[in-house]
Structure 1
C-alpha cells in the first residue's frame, strides 16, 4: 500500500510539469541575467505567476494553446450550437447532457478534494484566471475522454463510418488537450490520470441510461418542471469555495445552458418540429454537411445568424436579470465592497442568462432559420 501511495505522490510532483514544459520549448529566463547576456533573437515573455520565459518551439506552443481552448465553455457553446443547427440536434442534445453531468461532477469533486494546482517556482503558469481553482480532477482530461466515446456511442447505431479513421481523429483530439494542461502549468500528471479514470467510471453507467434520459427530457410533459427543480437543486448543493474561484459560476453556466437546450427541444417536440418514433438511419452514411454550394451558404448563414442571435440574447438576458434582481433586492451596486450577496447575485444572473442562451440554441435560432427558409430540413428526424 505504501508503494502505491509513493507512486501517486510521485505523479503529483510538479517536477514532471517542469520537465514537460522544458521538453516542448518553454525556457526560464533568470532575473539576474543582464541584457547583454540575453539572446536578442528570442522574445521575452512573462507568465501568469511572474516568471520570465522564452519560447523555443512555436509549433508546440500554439498547438497546446489551441488544445487548451478545446476544454473551455466557449468552444463547447459553439460546437454544440453548430451541431444542433447544421448536423444532428439529437447528437448535440445527448453530448450536452453527458458534458453537463460530467463537468458538474468534476467541478464538484474539485471543491471536495481541495487539491491545489502545481506550485513550483520553476513552473510557468500560463492561465492566471484559473489559479484559484483546485486542480484534481482535470476537467479538461474528463472532457477530452468523454467527447469521442460519447459521440461513438451515439453514432454507431445511427450511421455508418470508419472506426479506424474515427480512432485516429480521437487521438488527434485527446493528445493536444492532455498535453496543454502540463504545458500551461495547470495540472499535474496525477490530475490528468484521475480525470481520465473518473470520466470512464461515470461514462459506463451514464451511456446505458443516455437514450432513456434524453427521451424523458424531450418528450414527457413534466420535463420543464423536473428540469428547473434539478438545476436549482444542483446550484444550491454545490460547495462554496473559500477562494475567489470562478468554478461555481462556470458550473452554473454549464447546467443552465443544458437546461435551456432541453427546454427548447421539448418545445420543438410539442410543436411538431421533432418527430417520434425516430426514422431508421442505421444504414445511412454519416451526414455530409458540405454536399453542395447552396447548402454551404445555408450553413454559413445559419451559423452567422445563430451567433449574432446568441450574442444579443446574452446581452438581453444579462440586462433583464440584473435589473430584475436590483428591483427585487433593492441593491443598486452589486460590485461595491462589502456586498455579501455579490456571489449569490452573480449566480442568479448567470442561471437566467445561460438558460436563455440554451433556449436560443435549441429553439429561437432554429425558429428564425425556419422563418427565413434556411432551416435544416432533416431536423424533424432528430428525435
Structure 2
C-alpha cells in the first residue's frame, strides 16, 4: 500500500515509544534496557534487511521450510531456557518464538495452497480505499471475529498443553501456576499455544473470512 512516508514514520515512532514507556512503567525493564534494545534492533535491521526477500522466498517456497523453522525456533527456545531460575522473560521468549514459527508456517501453507497470492506487479503500489460506513463496519467485524478466534485458540491450547506436559514429564499440576514455572512445562505450553495462535492468525482466520465473505 502507498501511504505518506512521514505518516508511517510518525506512527512507528509513537508505537515504539508507547511500548518502551509501558515496559518502564510496569517495571519490567529499565531505561538502559530500552536503550540497549533500541540499539540492538537497529543492528538486527541493518544485518537482516538486505536478506528479507531471500528469507521470505525460502519460507514460502522451500518444501521443508516449516520443519526447519519449527526446529530452529524450538532450539532457540531450549537455549534461552537454560536459566536456573524462573523469570517472565523466559516465558516471553518462548511465546515470541512460538508465535513466529506459527506465523511462518501459516504463510507457507497459504502460499502452497495459493490462498494469498501477491498482487500483480502492474497493480502496485496499492492505494488505500476511501473510508465509508461499509468499509468501517466490515473492518470492525473482521477485528471482532479475528480476536474471538485467536482467544478461543489460546484458551483451548492452554487447557490442553499444560496438563499434557505435566503428565508427560510427571510434574504435579495441583498448583498450575507453580507447574508453569517448570521449564519442561512452560516451554511446550508457550511454544505450542502461541504457535497455534500465530498459525490461526495467518491461515485459519483468513480462511474463515473467505468462507463467510469478509475477505
**Structures share fold, TM-score greater than 0.5:** yes
- 8 Å Cα contact 2:81-2:183 kept in structure 1: no
State the match for 2:103 in structure 1. Answer: 261
Q: Which deviations, in whole Å up to 9, do the C-alpha atoms of 1:146-175 show, x marking residues without a partner?
A: xxxxxxxxxxxxx43322333333443344
Write the distance in 2 (CA, Å) between the matches of 1:335 and 1:234.
28
Matches within 5 A, 1:226-265: 226-265=68-107
Alignment gaps of 5+ in structure 1: 1-158, 376-383
State the match for 1:222 in structure 2. Answer: 64
Higher relative contact order (CA 8 A, sep 6+): 2
Write the distance in 2 (CA, Å) between the matches of 1:210 and 1:227.
15
TM-score normalised by structure 1 residue count:
0.50
Q: Which deviations, in whole Å up to 9, do the C-alpha atoms of 1:40-73 show, x marking residues without a partner?
A: xxxxxxxxxxxxxxxxxxxxxxxxxxxxxxxxxx
State the match for 1:83 in structure 2. Answer: none
Q: Which deviations, in whole Å up to 9, do the C-alpha atoms of 1:309-351 show, x marking residues without a partner?
A: 1111111111222343244334452638997982321211111
Q: CA RMSD of the aligned region, Å?
A: 2.9
Write the distance in 2 (CA, Å) between the matches of 1:270 and 1:282.
22
State the match for 1:347 in structure 2. Answer: 187
1:299 to 129, 136, 139: 139
State the match for 2:214 in structure 1. Answer: 374
SS in 1 for 2:74: helix
State the match for 2:6 in structure 1. Answer: 164
State the match for 1:279 in structure 2. Answer: 120
Write the distance in 1 (CA, Å) between the matches of 2:14 and 2:177.
46
TM-score normalised by structure 2 residue count:
0.84
1:192 to 24, 34, 41: 34
Write the distance in 2 (CA, Å) between the matches of 1:309 and 1:221.
28
Matches within 5 A, 1:67-82: none
SS in 1 for 2:121: coil
Alignment gaps of 5+ in structure 2: none
Deviation at 1:282, TM superposition (A): 7.4
- Of the two, which has the highest radius of gyration? 1
